[in-house]
Chains A and B, each alone.
Chain A
Amino acid sequence: MVVDNRRAGSPTPGAGADIPARRRPYWVFGRGVDPDPRFSLANERTFLAWIRTSLALFAAGVALQAVNLPILPGFRRAASILLILLGTAAPAQALFGWLRTEAALRLGRGLPPPTLAAPVGVGMAIAGVLVLLGLLL
């Protein structure tokens, strides 16, 4: 059931008429019906979890450089830059994951997979290996 809310005078079924029909972005809020509030709120918490993941990645990357650890400088720097790059990618996943999930909820479709979850996991594993090698070699 897809409803185009952009047309004037077609209020979202089940929702009050006071809801602005032209809420941006249209590709999310201009289609479908308002979902169960619990799902929207869970989606919002997932966004925040990704933001905190980003903070943790930045903190780890900066701390590696800021704290004097007995790690080979090349490995330490590589791990640090990798963690910071992952920290930069995480908010993108947070925002676009949030929008895509909200759109899917509105349209009653399957939820989109967290696109960056696997790359971030692999990147963190590589960073861990770099730190380990830097300590051992």
Chain B
Amino acid sequence: MSGRATWGGRGRGGDGPHVTGDGGLQVERTALAWRRTAAAFGVGATVAIRLIASTGGDWARIAGIVAGLCVVMVVAVALGRSSLVGRRSVRYDVPAAPPVTVPAPAWMAAVAVFTCLAGVATAIVVLADRT
């Protein structure tokens, strides 16, 4: 891995073998990105369930359950990724070990699929009701 950028601020060399610390706060920024995504899911699902609840019916119940599951899952993943903050195993002097710096692809796929499902389910219920 030659040519890695110098970083870490204030003259710390990026290519040295003992560069530790997170000058760009990459880990913290990623954890915060997960948290605000989880917060957005929480707000979105709350509003969606409130909207859906006024329509009633089986489809509304299904959409509400999917939205709720979606929030629980995203919050769980966000908490897991947030635990990276302060973990010593994230080092910047060696290339990334995937289990630490890359989340499980299955969880990423689950988040993407559930976002679609919850959004579409809510949209169908609302569109069918307000036409």
Contacts and interface: CB of A to CB of B under 8 A. Distances in A.
B130 to A, nearest CB: 5
Contact of A66 (B37, B40, B130): B130
Contacts, number: 137
Given A15-B97, A61-B123, A102 B24 contact: no
A37 B41 contact: no
Q: Chain B, interface size: which category?
A: 35 or more
Interface residues of A, number: 51
Interface string B74-112: 000000010000000011101111111111011011011
Contacts of A73: 131
A10 B57 CA distance: 57
A36 B96 CA distance: 6
A34 B115 contact: no
Nearest to A23: B98
Interface in A68-84: 73, 77, 80-81, 84
Contact of A41 (B30, B94, B109, B115): B30
B105 A54 contact: no
B126 interface: yes
Given A14-B1, A28-B105, A94-B112, A41 B27 contact: yes
A44 B112 contact: no
Interface stretch (A85-93, A109-117, A118-126, A129-137): A85-93
Interface in A33-79: 33-38, 40-42, 44-45, 47-49, 51-52, 54-55, 57-59, 61-62, 65-66, 73, 77
A9 interface: no
Contact of A99 (B41, B105, B111, B131): B105
Nearest to B123: A84
B4 interface: yes
A104 interface: no
